[in-house]
Amino acid sequence: MQMTSAERVRRTLLREEVDRIPHFEWIVDRHVRDALCPGSTMEEFTVRMGLDAILTAPDYRREQVGPNRFRNEWGAVVEYSGEEYGMPVGGPIGTLADLDAYRAPDPHASGRFASLEKLVGRYKGCLAIGVHLNDVLSIPRNLMGFENLMAAFGEAPELVRGLVNLSVGVNLELGKEAAQRGADFVFTGDDYAATERPFVSPRMFREFLAGPLKRVMTGYKELGLLVIKHTDGNIMPLLDMIVEAGMDGLDPIDPLAGLDLGVLKQRLGHRLAFKGNVDCAHTLTNGTEREVVAETLEVIRHAAEGGGVIVSSSNSIHSGVKPGNYLAMWNAIRQYGRYPIRFGGWEDAGAGPAFA
């Protein structure tokens, strides 16, 4: 029996087999959207392409402070290039005194979740509705700057603890608002690692971040929200502490960092679901459509059995992804991702059927 996308994503995050493998992306760059669905917004693209989740975030005011630079309600300055998302380049906190005087945006402010309310009114029960919140590292990074924050782990530990606790507290209040307004799941985008290694040592992660991470994940779950945790990079030295925090899904099991989705599915598939991990740095960007299909099928082969996998890119569909390659992945998921998964005949799979 065919499920709604909302039910498909929910049951996948509960590690159950569904009718077909769900698919959605955190970001699909407008250049890719325009090539496939000219002039579409992300909402329109989601609906027209039949993606399984529609995503939003709290609504924050911002003011322009320079070419391509905006200061948001948190006081962080974000610079936008050609991509859909911006990069933080400056923040308001440098010392413990700055933190003591700082006031975060009100999580309960009028209009804070206007975008979520609109999506719930249009799609609740049909599409899974996800809200981008945070956990323990992105907000401290945005408020201090990455290099300053990394130095503070050694030089100003109380400042780091204060920033982390601020992030946990504000995000749990945001989670309450999101749950009350009908969100189905939260996804947190706080990265913990670069390609080679984590940003902080396992000892420092355990001392500063593991407890607060578990606190915020537990809080989201107690609100009735499912949780997908995103982090790029080589998280293997931190993996046990991350999983212990209790999220429902982990994304993207970064192939560029050498992580093996099949190994992690065997090791941890009884504890959490996985989202990923067709390589968007190489295969989706520079590969052929046949290579994209082959890699998509390998993801399905290694992770789909027994349920608990959402197939997507290994991060996002950024501006460098070839539209035809994204479409090849989309087609392969639809053609070969129906349960029960049948492995025979995949070796000769081409780029999949034409999009219709």
Q: At residue 105, does pLDDT exceed 50? A: yes
Residue 84 one-letter amino acid: E
Residue 65 resides in a domain: no
Residue 42 one-letter amino acid: M
Q: How far apart are CA 119 and CA 41, in angstroms?
A: 13
Residue 99 resides in a domain: no
Residue 96 resides in a domain: no
Averaged confidence pLDDT in the chain: 95
Residue 66 resides in a domain: no
Per residue in 164-190, pLDDT (tens digit) is 999 999 999 999 999 999 999 999 999
Banded pLDDT at 354 (limits 50, 70, 90): very low
CATH number, domain with residue 116: 3.20.20.210
Percent of the chain with pLDDT over 70: 96
Per residue in 44-103, pLDDT (tens digit) is 999 999 999 999 999 999 999 999 999 999 999 999 887 888 889 999 999 999 999 999
Residue 114 resides in a domain: yes
So what's the pLDDT on residue 26?
97
Residue 98 resides in a domain: no
Per residue in 142-169, pLDDT (tens digit) is 999 999 999 999 999 999 999 999 999 9
| Domain range enclosing 310 | 5-60+104-348
Give the number of other Cβ atoms within 10 Å of residue 12's Cβ: 27
So what's the pLDDT on residue 31?
95
Residue 18 resides in a domain: yes
Banded pLDDT at 355 (limits 50, 70, 90): very low
Residue whose structure tokens are 């925090």: 245
Residue 93 resides in a domain: no
Banded pLDDT at 356 (limits 50, 70, 90): very low
Give me the number of domains the chain comprises: 1
Banded pLDDT at 351 (limits 50, 70, 90): very low
Q: Is 15 left (phi over 0), alpha (psi -120 to 50) or beta?
A: left
So what's the pLDDT on residue 4?
98
Global pTM exceeds 0.85 = yes
